[in-house]
Amino acid sequence: MNKSLGTISVLIKDRQANVNDLQNLLTEKGHFIRNRLGVNLEPTCLSHCLGFMVLVVEGNKQELEKLNQEISDLSGINSKLIIVTE
């Protein structure tokens, strides 16, 4: 199967409460992740803070869609997959 290259943008609604499940999933699916960037949207926030992450991912289209869905299914997290090449 052909590999696709894309990005998954991830919004974490409450970083302190919801990041552990996301980190575990990203560790498990690390073979799809080529790069990741975390952005601190609220530098002075101490609790219930937003988090934002961009993942550069590579795999076949179905694998990337499944990864995006698994991320989206986590509590307090929204994600969006953009396939750049197929």
The pLDDT assigned to 30 comes to 96
Number of domains in the chain: 1
| Domain encompassing residue 43 | 4-85
The pLDDT assigned to 1 comes to 63
* Cβ contacts of 9 within 8 Å, gap of 6 or more: 52, 53, 54, 55, 79, 80, 82
Interatomic CA distance for residues 86 and 76, integer angstroms:
30
Would you write out the chain's pLDDT as a tens digit for each of its 86 residues?
689 999 999 999 988 888 899 999 999 999 999 999 998 888 888 888 899 999 999 999 999 999 999 999 999 999 999 999 97
Angle at 24 between CA 57 and CA 67, to 5 degrees: 35
The pLDDT assigned to 38 comes to 93
Q: CA gyration radius for the chain?
A: 13
CATH code assigned at 35: 3.30.70.1150
Interatomic CA distance for residues 64 and 66, integer angstroms:
5
